[in-house]
Amino acid sequence: MRIGVLASHEGTVLQAVLDACADQRLCARVSVVISNNSDSGALRRARDARVRAVHMSSATHPDGGALDHAIAQCLEDADVDLVVLAGYMKRLGPATLERFKGRMINTHPSLLPKFGGAGFFGDTVHTAVIAAGEHESGATVHWVSGDYDAGPIIAQARVPIADTETPASLEKKVKVAERALLIDTLRALAKQTRPMKIV
């Protein structure tokens, strides 16, 4: 299975995928990594792994429609079977969403549908979970739709929340669960030549 990854920041989830491919826990390979941040750790990690690394943003494509089509074309040129949004902080355009409909997944650091949607990312998620008095949190992998964190859920992993939990400590626990969940999900999808389209 050929994977295209979109990431905005350090790329720790990407690194988990690269490592799983390298040590053959995952029968797949990352074909291209796209980031909207030219200085992102994700692009550095891709280059270190000898994976094509591409910066695409309003700096490279000032017109939003042109950027959308360029991202879709880049993924298509890499002949990806599945697109993984791994901490990608930009809304995808209609061309990319349509071309890869049913072949694009996202990871989110909470148990959706709670604590998802616009504005729920990074520390904001974990702070909100603790403030709500939740007894558990976790990670979700879901199919991507046009709205933030709104696509059908594929799988979830749960972690307990201790009485002394802080947003930082919860983030660490969720990140471990998120990486393992994504690899398990990708392993299941890799058993298919082409992932089934989920509409």
Catalytic residue list: 108
Residue 30: helix, strand or coil by DSSP? strand
DSSP E strands, 40-150: 52-55, 82-85, 104-108, 136-143
Are 144 and 104 spatial neighbours (Cβ–Cβ below 8 Å)? yes
Are 139 and 157 spatial neighbours (Cβ–Cβ below 8 Å)? yes
DSSP state at residue 197:
P
Question: Which residues lie closer than 8 Å to 171 by C-beta, 6 or more apart?
Answer: 109, 123, 126
Question: Which residues lie closer than 8 Å to 151 by C-beta, 6 or more apart?
Answer: 106, 142, 143, 144, 145, 198
